Amino acid sequence: MPTSVIPFLASDAATTANWVAALQAALPEQRIVAFSTLSETEKKAVRIAIVANPEPAQLQQLPQLQWVHSVWAGVERLLQEAGPQAWPLVRLLDPQLAATMAEAVLAWTLYLHREMPAYARQQRQGLWQARPYRSAGSQTIGLLGLGALGAAAARSLLAAGFKVAGWSRETKQISGVRCFAGAAELPLLLAQTNILVCLLPLTAATRDLLDASMLRQLPTGASLINFARGAIVVDQDLRAALDDGHLSHAVLDVFRSEPLPAEAWQWQHPAVSVLPHCSAPTDRASAAAIVAATIRQYHADGSLPATVDRALGY
């Protein structure tokens, strides 16, 4: 296989430099370069591009592009802004990423379950008061999304002793998990959930999904962890549910605007934990090895792993 030029596209130069180095090490037989260094002649020859949250319009400068590999699991911006080309899009499916997300889900579920926000409040008040203990087995964690990340999170929550319910588009069978599917069954999951964990992709069907009517179906005192995308939650409806005590706490890793603007209400809200989109960063070395294997397989027999369904948006 002759060496070809494979550009890497990201939103900033430092990210690009680190990824180019990791990908070049994993794929020494190809030439991995920053998109910004491509000549006009090279752009016309590019057939594969690797991206991490790029400016989607840049891909339109590659007339021979055949497919794109994302090193991010979430690809909604690429789908929305890449223009009319329908090249296949492979997103990152990395067991290491799923393990990292499962760890984050367990960590923040335990934070809420063991009432750390309430004890922090009590400490600030100088209040020495044990709160009633609830066992993990008495609590249901409701997972929105049972894909690569949701299924891994379910396993770690079950191992920690929680009851786990999950919701997906199509019906699933996962040992130990009460599975619900489709819009009609979402209320059944919400009604029995103590901690709701969002691991859905952002699509036309999930945008603004968690509005007042959904959040109010959670039992009083329930909490929310959003590790998926900010636009799945209607911020003002969440704020109202926290303000009137219907929800006790929200752990938010993702926002409609990132970085979260300094004036955003979430920073100061006593019932919100703000995280800087850090719940499951891609592991560069493991992701580069996965991308390299995908490209080698493609060069060997022309096959690609499952690609993103453009109609569904994930």
- Give whichever of 35 and 314 is closer to ligand NAP, judged by the CB atom: 314
Window contacting ligand NAP (CB under 6 A); options: 24-32, 36-44, 56-64, 145-153: 145-153
Among positions 19-78, residues that touch ligand NAP (CB under 6 A) are 73-74
Backbone angles phi, psi at 269, to 5 degrees: -70, 130
Residue of 277, 284, 296, 299 that binds ligand NAP (CB under 6 A): 277
CA diameter of the chain: 71
CA–CA separation, 157 vs 213, rounded Å?
27
User: Which residues are CB-contacts of 179 (< 8 A; sequence separation ≥ 6)?
Assistant: 146, 165, 166, 167, 168, 171, 172, 173
Q: Which of 269, 277, 284, 299 is catalytic?
A: 277
Q: Is the peptide bond before 305 cis (omega within 30 degrees of 0)?
A: no
Q: How far is CA 188 from CA 78, 150, 166, 197, 287, in A?
A: 33, 18, 10, 15, 37
- Give whichever of 62 and 210 is closer to ligand NAP, judged by the CB atom: 210
- Give whichever of 62 and 214 is closer to ligand NAP, judged by the CB atom: 214
Among positions 205-224, residues that touch ligand NAP (CB under 6 A) are 205-206
Residue 203 in the binding site for ligand NAP (CB under 6 A): yes
Residue 168: closest CA among 205, 204, 138: 205
- Give whichever of 4 and 88 is closer to ligand NAP, judged by the CB atom: 88
CA–CA separation, 116 vs 269, rounded Å?
16
Residue of 69, 113, 155, 229 that binds ligand NAP (CB under 6 A): 229
Residue 273 in the binding site for ligand NAP (CB under 6 A): no
How many C-beta atoms lie closer than 10 Å to residue 15's C-beta?
16
Residue 168 in the binding site for ligand NAP (CB under 6 A): yes
For the question of residue 229 being annotated catalytic, the response is yes
- Give whichever of 5 and 232 is closer to ligand NAP, judged by the CB atom: 232
Determine if residue 302 is left, alpha or beta; phi over 0 gives left, psi from -120 to 50 gives alpha, anything else beta.
left
Which residues lie across from 274 on neighbouring strands? 252
Give yes or no for a contact between 255 and 264, defined as CB atoms under 8 angstroms apart. yes
Residue 145 in the binding site for ligand NAP (CB under 6 A): yes
Window contacting ligand NAP (CB under 6 A); options: 57-65, 78-86, 109-117, 196-204: 196-204
**Residue nearest ligand NAP, Cβ-based:** 147
Catalytic positions are 229, 277
What residue ranges bind ligand NAP (CB under 6 A)?
Answer: 73-74, 145-150, 167-170, 199-203, 205-206, 227-229, 253-254, 277, 279-280, 314
